[in-house]
Structure 1
Amino acid sequence: MDRETTGRYSIEDFIKNTGEKDLGQGVFELERDRLLEVNLNGMVWTKRGSMVAYTGDIKFIREGVLEHGLGKLVKKSLTGEGVSLTKAEGQGKLYLADEGKKVSVLKLENDSIFVNGNDLLAFEDSISWDIRMMKKIAGMMAGGLFNVKLEGTGMIAITTHYDPLTLQVTTGYPVFTDPNATVAWSGDLEPEIKTDVSLKTFVGRSSGESVQMAFKGEGFVVIQPYEEVYFQAQT
């Protein structure tokens, strides 16, 4: 019986099979499905608390209270800890993860994308960003219904519980999603909140059936097979 069937490895085999590998993918590399490697030579923004290891000379600086201006400060105060960023500066290899969630790396080329604030792991300094709040929301739990618009040219990393699914939105064929399972969408889409009051009353709380995000136009929506938080919408 060999080690493939027993699951047992010598220390040498274990190091060989689990060791870091240079994949040559650029600044952001998927070292594992749930582990992002950043080949740092300068600065990137990361989700606070996402660093699991690093090598080289890297400093971590918590973003300043007014670093992004008064407008973003007000928005961030509404999201609580949902959009809390740390600057990683220097040279070396930085490893990021977020509660074992799967990591996806996207390269923006003069593009824009909205990402749920809970699902943004890292982005390059060349990317501009702003916090957006969904309208017609009265109350929320565990982070709230807010998102971050990222635009420009550079790499970003997002996270999902399990494998993401991307749905195409086309004219005349809208897509409706559960806000709790919605991760990201293209920057030219402006989702609306749709509520079913009778179903909400029947269920007894807001859910993916009673509160929905409606995407109309041309673009895409990324969802995950997991409901991350609960929302309560205005009726």
Structure 2
Amino acid sequence: MSKYTIDQFINQTKQDESENEYFELETPRMLEVNLDGQVWAKAGSMISYNGNIKFEREGILEHGLGKMFKKAFSGEGSSLMKANGNGKLYLADEGKKITIFQLQNESITVNGNDLLAFEPGVNWDIQLMKKMAGMMSGGLFNVTLEGQGMVAITCHYEPLTLMVTPDQPVITDPHATVAWSGHLEPEFQTDVTLKSFFGRGSGESIQMKFSGEGFVIVQPFEEVYYSQSNG
């Protein structure tokens, strides 16, 4: 349906007041945080809020010197903001589809560009893909989250989960890779045949290889990353 009266449209799209979970999907592409305290979110992801909420950019030394240096290398894409207070906070990221995970003493590694929000009790650390630095422009870094609490990630369109087994490694395009089991450590490889086939210096010729046991989440879309010098 694309034609509505004003009342029909309001009834169809208004927020659901019955929801009261800490993280709720208000729509498949908008996260509602029922805030009573604090939440970490991707900088620039706030769409709307009500109540008494204050926003603060992540302090340069907030998480210690080690993370500060990692963030300097990984660029602005990893910037977080802290929301404190009470009310309803709505978050979104370029219309990407949102998935909420309830970690139960588990760990998941997320491409830094696809991390939307997480509870303050979840432990996290930025993992730099050092071997990728000479292969691709900036933007490829990831965040490992572990412990107990909710984590919201985003992806373009519907995600697909691929299972990794000892006898069946999974190879992915880095630009389409959203998240994976926290204990998996991808290796990077270059396929010369693909490089010549696509006629590119990067892109499909660079692959992530996951070996062991776990899962990898991919999306039907290749994100374009930019280094700080490219904007």
TM-score by length of 2: 0.92
2:25 equivalent in structure 1 = 30
**Mapped partners of 2:107, 2:193: distance in 1:** 36
CA contact (8 A) 1:179 1:212 kept: yes
User: 2:78 aligns to what SS in structure 1?
Assistant: coil
2:210 equivalent in structure 1 = 215
Q: Deviation string for 1:78-116 (max 9, x for gaps)?
A: 111010000000000000000111111111010100000
**Matched letter for residue 136 of structure 2:** M
Q: Deviation string for 1:125-172 (max 9, x for gaps)?
A: 01011000123221533x422100001100010000111111111111
Q: 2:39 aligns with which of 36, 39, 44?
A: 44
- The question of 1:86 aligning with 2:65 is answered no
The alpha carbon displacement at 1:76 in A equals: 0.3
Q: 1:150 aligns with which of 145, 156, 163?
A: 145
The alpha carbon displacement at 1:15 in A equals: 1.0
Name the Cα RMSD after superposition.
1.5
**Mapped partners of 1:190, 1:170: distance in 2:** 13
**Matched letter for residue 140 of structure 1:** M
User: Could you list the runs of 5+ residues in structure 1 that have no partner in the other structure?
Assistant: none
TM-score by length of 1: 0.91
User: 1:30 aligns to what SS in structure 2?
Assistant: strand
CA contact (8 A) 2:140 2:225 kept: no
Q: Which moved more, 1:57-66 or 1:22-31?
A: 22-31
The percent of aligned pairs where both chains have the same amino acid is: 62
User: 1:98 aligns to what SS in structure 2?
Assistant: coil
User: 2:38 aligns to what SS in structure 1?
Assistant: strand
CA contact (8 A) 1:116 1:147 kept: yes
**Mapped partners of 1:26, 1:230: distance in 2:** 33
1:59 equivalent in structure 2 = 54
- The question of 1:205 aligning with 2:201 is answered yes
CA contact (8 A) 1:135 1:193 kept: no
* Rg larger in structure: 1
CA contact (8 A) 1:107 1:156 kept: yes
CA contact (8 A) 2:20 2:34 kept: no
- The question of 1:117 aligning with 2:112 is answered yes
**Matched letter for residue 88 of structure 2:** K
The alpha carbon displacement at 1:184 in A equals: 0.2
**Matched letter for residue 8 of structure 1:** K
- The question of 1:133 aligning with 2:128 is answered yes
CA contact (8 A) 1:43 1:125 kept: yes
User: 1:9 aligns to what SS in structure 2?
Assistant: coil
User: Could you list the runs of 5+ residues in structure 2 that have no partner in the other structure?
Assistant: 227-231
**Mapped partners of 1:198, 1:48: distance in 2:** 39
CA contact (8 A) 1:207 1:230 kept: no
**Matched letter for residue 45 of structure 2:** S
Q: Which moved more, 1:195-204 or 1:221-230?
A: 195-204
**Mapped partners of 2:122, 2:22: distance in 1:** 14
